Structure 1
Amino acid sequence: MRNLILTVLLSVIAVVSGYVEELDDKFKEYLQHELWLVEFYAPWCAYCHTFEPIWHEVGAELKSMGSPVNVGKIDTTVHTSIASEFNIRGYPTIKLFKGELSFDYKGPRTKDAIIEFTNRVSGPVVRPLSSVQLFQHVMNRHDLIFVYIGGESLLKREYYKAATEYIVHTYFFTASEEVLPKVVTLQDVPAIAVFKDGTYYLYNEFLDGDLSSWINRERFPSYFQIDSFSLYQMGELSKLVALAVVDEKNPSEESIRYKTLMERLSTEYRDHYKSDYQFGFMDGNEYINGLIMGEVEMPSIIVLNMSIDGYCLPESKIETIEDLLRFLNSVLDGSAKLLGGNGFLQWTKRSFYKAKSTVVSMFQAAPFFSCFVFGLPVGIVALVIWGTCTAVPADDEKPVEGATANPVSDAHGKKAIELQPDSTEKPSEAKKED
């Protein structure tokens, strides 16, 4: 209850202070002339309540930085047409509006990550590196960047087009040959390079195919710590994800060995597996357990196919890099058993699992609010059922004693005399008796 009250107070402070503006469906009128970072939320969403203080911090920091980006939020349960227009399917959803373009934020729900995204996307899509010092400064700040080297060309136009699509994930720059590090060797100009993993790789149209697809494959380090957000993005790739699932807080000798094997393989066998695998490690098994709807031991090795929600586990213990190579090759040639998947049964099971997880998380984050959300419809249904079962039928007309409800025909088809309670006439049999 205390957390819920604190969340509401921070929300009110954010709105009153001007850091976060409560929007309505008229905010679309501002988009042509202003930059907007907007949270689409629903009052019943427990994640939205938990996220509210972070969103306030984002608005406050962008304001203090003098950012031209306005920060707002909109209740899609009130403005339902907005949810349909912008295809809002989950909460909270974050979008940055820049002219006629909108960019979805799919990263961690942290202040620093959101501000990094905002600064990157709100600025130029492609930024120039005009000096050796500036190039080195950018290299020190970012683990991965794409750089176009050369003058005007068809390749440059394709690069700008791809940069507009992938600016939500990473940075794009242009530079001349003079400002590049001395270790960079170009066979031809113009050229495009990705700088990552302490080295660089050049785009080759004949070997790598479409530029946009190459950028999509190369926008991750060869080996890095993968979280739930980056793993979700792997579904957009054609690669499998090879993971060492470990406990970073209490690393065992086997955890360290799995991480080392995976990192070594990602470096030594990059050219062999670069089109097939993304390598990394994950701290903890909670997200993986939810993904496979089971329990993954820690530490362990697992290969995920995020496009079909499938996974493979090694049948024997991984001791050496040769063991790991055999396992990865067995996944590629189909001899490894594929578990999970997106068949109807698995889809039904996963939907139920996600619904149950969502309800549990709602009660953990905001128990009183969740009781109200779920208790109100249950209470209404219970009252309706109770009222139906206990209702006493009302008699519209009470039959009069000694009278028939309707005229009755005799055996010859003639109507019998209809008895009336006040009638003085009697049947012939009654008269004889008298």
Structure 2
Amino acid sequence: MLWFLCCVICLLCNFVSCPLCWYHAFFLKYILQFYTPWCAYCHTFEPILYEVGAELKSMGSPVNVGKIDTTVHTSIASEFNIRGYPTIKLFKGDLSFDYKGPRTKDAIIEFTNRVSGPVVKPLSSVQLFQHVMSHHDLIFVYIGQESLLKKKYYKAATEYIVHTYFFTASEEVLPKAVTLQDVPAIAVFKDGTYYLYNEIVDGDLSFWINRERFPSYFQIDSFSLYQMGELSKPVFLYKHGEYIYIIYILMNIYTVGTESIQTLCDISFGYMDGNEYINGLIMGEVEMPFIIVLNMTIDGYCLPESTIETIEDLLRFLNSVLDGSAKLLGGNGFLQHTKRVFNKARSTVVSMFQAAPFFSCFVFGLPVGIVVLVIWRTCTAVPADDEKPMEGATASPALDAHGRKAKEMQPDGIEKTSEAKKED
């Protein structure tokens, strides 16, 4: 499979399929877009892909950029289970990594630089550690020498390198504020502080990394929202700038042993600057500012029944969500799914008319006009006249039910006499 893909890449890059394909597979790196000619999103993304290629080339990156038409190379699309378009994958050696972030140049380049390099990078000095911390909001760090925990860490890093950064360091390069109870250790640095992994309390390392790879509160888009939903945790969303003071207080008043700390662990926090996505989810118009708790596993949501003004109001609402007493709206049932499809179609049509009214009138008016014309012609069509005998032709005598010639009748229905027949 890998050799076949490399041959296709060689052909796409104007190389000749040769024994060097294995060299291309293990020493060259590619980020490829899988597309179809009929996909409108693929055509929209194509200029961004060219910008990514130009930027990576100017940076001296070893990653090559290309695209594959899945209608031509159907076996490759089947091999990599390509279902949506455009699909972006980065190939490094015998590994492939899916990109599921925003379709922007900066986001794709950041993903490429993170994944194309070593999965785990060493931090060899205090200055390098501080430099990394100043450029990234969240990083995982393994502290210590070789151990079984380090092998687990490298395995988990290979799985989650598509989402975040992984490093190794010694105790000497860590900030002085970091206190380790034991070495080796794994720490996540985020939100201006750090959290240590405890195998007894936190369980599986991969599960802990997947749970901790999000900041405690950050700006959420549709991509990160569904990634957070995979954790089966409610997502607390609010309008940034309106309730931010409540969130900051809420995040800082938690102390170990209180009821509130459990609320923090069981809910992910985030904010959105717009309400378009939420409007599509609830099939309505939320009032700005808004507070909403989403259950992305079933596309459900909870809204506060009263205005949130104090910390107590917020905690009361969150606890009602956790204990199940809050009313769960929405869902992914057949009826809700059908309503959401029609609502999305309606929103699309409205946005089209708002953006290009004349073009939209033409697009929707042309088929409607054709249908109306066909119906009108069908209803107003004149039936064909009955067949008449040609001039000069003799009409065949009528036959009765037994096949005999019917008797000629006078207009008044009386049979002609023999004299009348002679006169005829």
For structure 1, the residue ranges without an aligned partner over 5 or more in a row are 1-22, 249-254, 390-400, 405-409, 417-434
For 2:198, give the aligned amino acid: N
Distance 2:271 2:104 in 1: 21
> Which aligned pairs between 1:22-421 and structure 2 lie closer than 5 A?
32-33=25-26, 34-246=28-240, 255=242, 258-269=243-254, 271-354=261-344
Query: Whose radius of gyration is greater, 1 or 2?
Result: 2
Distance 2:46 2:352 in 1: 15
For 1:318, give the aligned amino acid: I
Distance 2:371 2:70 in 1: 26
Q: Does structure 2 conserve the Cα–Cα contact (< 8 Å) formed by 1:46 and 1:365?
A: no
CA displacement 1:156-194 (0-9 Å, x = unmatched) = 111111101110110000111111111100001110000
1:139 Cα deviation from its structure 2 partner: 0.8
Distance 1:361 1:66 in 2: 42
Moved more, 166-175 or 98-107: 98-107
Q: Secondary structure at the match of 1:317?
A: coil
Percent identical among aligned pairs is 81
For 1:273, give the aligned amino acid: T
Change (3 A) 1:337 1:79: same
Distance 1:78 1:365 in 2: 35
TM-score when scaled to structure 2? 0.77
1:109 Cα deviation from its structure 2 partner: 1.6
RMSD: 4.0
Distance 1:172 1:385 in 2: 66
The count of corresponding residues between Structure 1 and Structure 2 is 386
1:279 Cα deviation from its structure 2 partner: 0.8
Q: Does structure 2 conserve the Cα–Cα contact (< 8 Å) formed by 1:266 and 1:279?
A: no
1:123 Cα deviation from its structure 2 partner: 0.4
Q: Which has the higher contact order (CA 8 A, sep 6+)?
A: 1
Moved more, 52-61 or 319-328: 52-61
4+ residue runs of structure 1 moved beyond 4 angstroms? Answer: 23-31, 354-386
Q: Does structure 2 conserve the Cα–Cα contact (< 8 Å) formed by 1:44 and 1:370?
A: no
Equivalent residue number for residue 431 of structure 1: none
For 1:272, give the aligned amino acid: Q
Change (3 A) 1:365 1:236: farther
For 1:106, give the aligned amino acid: K
1:261 Cα deviation from its structure 2 partner: 0.9
Change (3 A) 1:306 1:162: same
Q: Secondary structure at the match of 2:122?
A: strand
TM-score when scaled to structure 1? 0.75
CA displacement 1:186-238 (0-9 Å, x = unmatched) = 00111000000111000011111111111111101101111222112112112
Distance 1:93 1:110 in 2: 14
Moved more, 369-378 or 41-50: 369-378
Change (3 A) 1:267 1:71: farther
1:89 Cα deviation from its structure 2 partner: 2.7
1:358 Cα deviation from its structure 2 partner: 6.2
Q: Does structure 1 conserve the Cα–Cα contact (< 8 Å) formed by 2:137 and 2:191?
A: yes
CA displacement 1:84-134 (0-9 Å, x = unmatched) = 332223222211111222111111221111101000000000111111111
For structure 2, the residue ranges without an aligned partner over 5 or more in a row are 1-7, 255-259, 380-392, 405-424
Equivalent residue number for residue 422 of structure 2: none
Distance 2:64 2:357 in 1: 32
For 2:149, give the aligned amino acid: L
Distance 2:74 2:354 in 1: 27
Change (3 A) 1:168 1:359: farther
> Which aligned pairs between 1:10-25 and structure 2 lie closer than 5 A?
none
